């Protein structure tokens, strides 16, 4: 037998100089249960009786592809009955659910795994007992003929994320001692469940049970089941979600044979055991666990493996029926335009319009995994308040949208569209899994927009409000210095004198007007067009329109801290900073007034920033 290096430490821990809590828990399980000596190694297949009873390995794989390993997690052993759920899923995907479900039942039998008994329809009770598993192998053989075993082995390898081989000695031993399975095979042939040559079908079954795996392999395979058929390590969609959900259902009711009821009552995690000493447990949307310890109890389940599963479920409260996720926690913030406007500076009449209609735009920031219950809660929160014209859904903190949630969310968009409410999404790319979760059902929804950044969404909605109530957004209208908030209170003569110090400049879209690396030499008054202010790291901190000043922070700072770029063609009055300073000094009242205006502008910005912070902290 080809022995892989034993994993006595965690093989995927990237915490420098420390261990994660989950790894420490698995190590405690190993130390607590390694001395457990109850049970016996399976010997009805002679080759299995040669297993070292002291071997003990544990591995846990998360659905984001992280694998923990403790003990003998890299020691190969034969998969045995743990192959059954994977071959059942393969049969569903290969032959279709109707064909498979005609041949194999899905009810628990209450009998031992190798019982020679069929249900009232003369079909196997379920695919987890030997009769059902042999029937699955027969269906694959019916489809693939002589290539059936390689087809199964390759599928098992995709679940594990690596090429798997077979233990020839165990296969020979299984074949030599498999008379009970032959009896089951001929019973299935007599009932019309198996249509091909019984010996050929059993050869496939004996070989699939002899495939070599490790505890690590089993953990990854279980995590693939938990991840709706996507291998979390390789990223491959191994089986369809339909096949996976049906497989997990049967594992829940029948995976642990005549111990299945007790198992789901006490542990509450879909699982499957094998007489080679392995146990796999798959908690949907959470994790996959694999363990290896050859000593079995009277039901044919690994004694130590059961203890690990019981400890994991109890310690972290992972019983599948005890999910207590609070749907309300999906909303991190819920506010309107008045509490968090965009970074675009607006002219006074636009500010008045937006203030008067701030309830027309509602922003809902979501986070975490969005489930059916989460989206239902969000829908009720929307219905509980007066209907706005625009609802922005910020999804940048959303990790996953489940398929039922995606459909319910899209149905909510259609409902909003029926009332002429525009839904705007931010924080997701159209190529992302988050978008794909809803894309199937959003086709044809006219009132749906998508922007990368939340601030872009808010600015777009503001533009719609301004346009709706004023008929236009005059970004190209020429403004006078008298409209500049920084120069409020200056007389007509003083404004004329100031204008005589400057030069009219024109800039094409995309031009950098101010660079953060340059010394502050000028102050600018925007007469027409739009500019945006951007930090050196690319983050936009403001968008300015006609009637605004920029570069004014040079009055307080000795260096430029941000870039200013023209969004569209721009006309601005550039006033050299030295001339502006002399203008202020020669007219003390004017200088005092300008600094008062600057302080007011900064205070207004601070108020907006504080309001945004309070929105987040209050939610």
In angstroms, rounded to a whole number, what is the distance separating the alpha carbons of residues 198 and 250? 25
Mean pLDDT of 512-522: 87
Q: Which phi-psi region, left, alpha or beta, contains residue 317 (left: φ > 0; alpha: ψ -120 to 50)? A: left
326 vs 495, more confident = 495
Average pLDDT for 96-113: 86
DSSP notation for 479-505 = --GGG-GGGTT--HHHHHHHHTT-EEE
Contacts with 31 (C-beta within 8 Å, 6 or more apart), sequence order? none
Radius of gyration of the chain (CA): 34
CA-to-CA dists, residue 148 to 145, 153, 229, 357, 568, angstroms:
6, 9, 21, 67, 65
When pLDDT is averaged across residues 319-334 and rounded to a whole number, the result is 78
- pLDDT at residue 610, as a whole number: 60
| Contact between residue 313 and residue 282 where contact means Cβ atoms under 8 Å apart | no
Q: How confident is the model at residue 274 (pLDDT cuts 50, 70, 90)?
A: very high
| CA pair distance 304, 602, nearest whole angstrom | 66
Q: Which burial class, exposed, middle or buried, applies to 609 when counting CB atoms under 10 A from its CB (0-12, 13-18, 19+)?
A: exposed
CATH class as words, domain 21-322: alpha beta
Query: pLDDT category, 237, cuts 50, 70, 90?
Result: very high
Q: Tell me the average pLDDT across 102-122.
A: 83
Q: Where in the chain is the domain with CATH 3.30.750.24?
A: 327-470
**Residue at token pair 């001339």:** 579
* Token pair in block for residue 532: 């945006």
pLDDT band (50, 70, 90) for residue 4? very low
For residue 212 the two structure tokens come to 């070599």
pTM over 0.85? The answer is no
b/e per residue, 339-366, with b = 16+ CB within 10 A?
Answer: bbbbbbbbbeebeebbeebbebbbbbbb
| Residues of each domain in the chain carrying CATH 2.60.120.10 | 481-615
CA pair distance 503, 219, nearest whole angstrom: 71
Tell me: the pLDDT tens digits for 536-554?
877 777 888 888 888 887 7
Count CB-CB contacts under 10 A for residue 192: 10
Give the pLDDT confidence of 332-351 residue by residue, as tens digits: 889 998 888 887 777 778 88
Are the CB atoms for 41 and 53 separated by under 8 Å?
yes
d(CA 183, CA 131): 10
Nearest CA among 26, 97, 86, 96 for reference residue 60: 26
The average pLDDT across 273-302 equals: 94
Longest dimension (CA), the chain: 110
CB distance 393 to 423 below 8 Å: yes
Q: Does residue 25 register a pLDDT over 60?
A: yes
CA distance 157 to 165: 9
| Architecture per CATH, 481-615 | Sandwich (2.60)
Residues 144, 166: Cα–Cα separation, whole Å: 19
Q: Which residue has the higher pLDDT, 605 or 526?
A: 526
Architecture category of domain 327-470 in CATH: 2-Layer Sandwich (3.30)
Q: Give residue-wise pLDDT tens across range 58-70.
A: 999 998 899 999 9
DSSP H or E run through 544: strand 540-545
d(CA 201, CA 185): 8
The Cα–Cα gap between 356 and 346 comes to 14
Residue 123 in contact with residue 193, Cβ under 8 Å?
yes
What pLDDT score was predicted for residue 612? 54
Q: Give the helix ranges, DSSP H, for 145-214.
A: 148-160, 168-176, 179-190, 198-209
* Closest to 304 (Cα-Cα) out of 509, 51, 518, 508: 51
The partner residues of 166 in beta bridges, in order of sequence, read 211
3-state SS, 265-300, equals: HHCCCCEEECCCCEEEEEECCCEEEEEECCEECCCC
Residue with the bigger pLDDT between 608 and 547: it is: 547
Two structure tokens written together for 366: 């979501």
**Is residue 523 within 8 Å of residue 577, measured between CB atoms?**
yes
Helix (H) or strand (E) holding 131, with range, is helix 130-144
- At residue 225, the 3 state secondary structure works out as helix
On the question of pLDDT at 370 being above 90, the answer is no
| Distance of alpha carbon 278 from alpha carbon 294, whole angstroms | 7
- Asked if residues 39 and 297 have their Cβ atoms less than 8 Å apart, the reply is yes
Q: How do residues 130-184 score in pLDDT, each as one tens digit? A: 999 999 999 999 999 999 999 999 999 999 999 999 999 999 999 999 999 999 9
Q: Which of 86, 234, 216 is nearest to 154 (CA)?
A: 86
pLDDT tens by residue, 586-599: 888 888 888 888 88
């Amino acid at each position: 037998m080809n022995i892989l290096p034993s994993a006595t430490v965690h093989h995927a821990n990237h915490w420098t100089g420390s261990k994660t809590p989950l790894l420490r828990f698995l190590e405690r399980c190993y130390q607590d249960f390694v001395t457990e000596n109850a049970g016996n190694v399976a010997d009805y297949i002679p080759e299995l009786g040669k297993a070292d009873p002291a071997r003990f390995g544990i591995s846990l794989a998360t659905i984001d592809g992280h694998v923990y390993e403790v003990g003998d997690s890299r020691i190969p052993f034969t998969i045995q009955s743990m192959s059954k759920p994977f071959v059942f899923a393969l049969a569903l995907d290969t032959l279709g659910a109707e064909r498979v479900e005609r041949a194999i039942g899905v009810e628990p039998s209450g009998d031992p795994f190798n019982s020679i008994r069929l249900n009232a329809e003369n079909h196997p009770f379920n695919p987890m007992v030997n009769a059902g598993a042999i029937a699955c192998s027969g269906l694959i053989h019916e489809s693939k003929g002589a290539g059936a075993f390689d087809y199964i082995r390759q599928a098992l390898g995709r679940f594990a994320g690596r090429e798997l081989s077979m233990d020839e000695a165990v296969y020979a031993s299984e074949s030599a001692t498999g008379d009970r399975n032959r009896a089951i095979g001929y019973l299935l042939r007599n009932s019309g469940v198996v249509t091909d040559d019984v010996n050929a079908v059993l050869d496939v079954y004996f070989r699939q049970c002899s495939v070599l795996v490790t505890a690590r392999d089993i953990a990854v395979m279980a995590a693939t089941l938990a991840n709706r058929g996507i291998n979390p390590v390789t990223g491959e969609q191994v089986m369809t979600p339909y096949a996976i959900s049906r497989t997990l259902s049967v594992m829940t009711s029948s995976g642990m044979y005549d111990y299945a009821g007790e198992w789901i009552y006490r542990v509450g995690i879909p699982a499957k055991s094998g007489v080679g000493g392995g146990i796999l447990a798959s908690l949907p949307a959470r994790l996959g666990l694999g363990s290896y310890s050859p000593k079995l109890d009277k039901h044919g389940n690994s004694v130590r493996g059961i203890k690990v599963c019981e400890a994991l479920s109890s310690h972290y409260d992972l019983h599948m029926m005890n999910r207590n996720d609070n749907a309300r926690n999906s909303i991190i913030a819920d506010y309107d335009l008045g509490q968090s406007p965009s970074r675009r500076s607006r002219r006074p009449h636009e500010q008045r319009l937006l203030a008067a209609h701030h309830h027309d735009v509602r922003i809902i920031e979501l986070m975490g995994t969005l489930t059916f219950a989460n989206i239902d809660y969000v829908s009720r929160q929307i219905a509980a308040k007066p209907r706005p014209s625009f609802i922005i859904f910020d999804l940048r903190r959303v990790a996953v949208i489940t398929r039922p949630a995606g459909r319910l969310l899209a149905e909510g968009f259609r409902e909003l569209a029926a009332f002429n409410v525009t839904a705007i999404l931010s924080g997701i790319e159209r190529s992302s899994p988050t978008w794909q979760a809803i894309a199937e059902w959003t086709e044809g929804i006219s009132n749906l927009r998508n922007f990368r950044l939340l601030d872009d969404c808010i600015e777009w909605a503001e533009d719609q409000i301004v346009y709706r109530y004023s008929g236009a957004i005059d970004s190209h209208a020429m403004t006078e210095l008298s409209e500049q908030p920084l120069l409020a209170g200056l007389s007509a003569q003083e404004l004329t004198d100031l204008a005589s110090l400057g030069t009219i400049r024109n800039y094409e879209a995309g031009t950098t007007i101010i660079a953060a690396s340059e010394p502050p030499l000028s102050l600018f008054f925007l007469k027409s067009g739009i500019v945006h202010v951007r930090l050196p790291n690319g983050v936009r901190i403001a968008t300015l329109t006609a009637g605004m000043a920029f570069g004014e922070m040079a009055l307080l700072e000795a260096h430029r801290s941000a870039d200013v770029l023209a969004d569209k063609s721009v006309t601005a009055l550039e006033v050299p900073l030295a001339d502006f300073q002399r203008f202020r000094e020669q007219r003390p009242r004017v200088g005092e007034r300008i600094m008062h205006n600057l302080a007011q502008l900064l205070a207004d910005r601070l108020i907006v920033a504080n309001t945004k912070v309070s929105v987040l902290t209050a939610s």
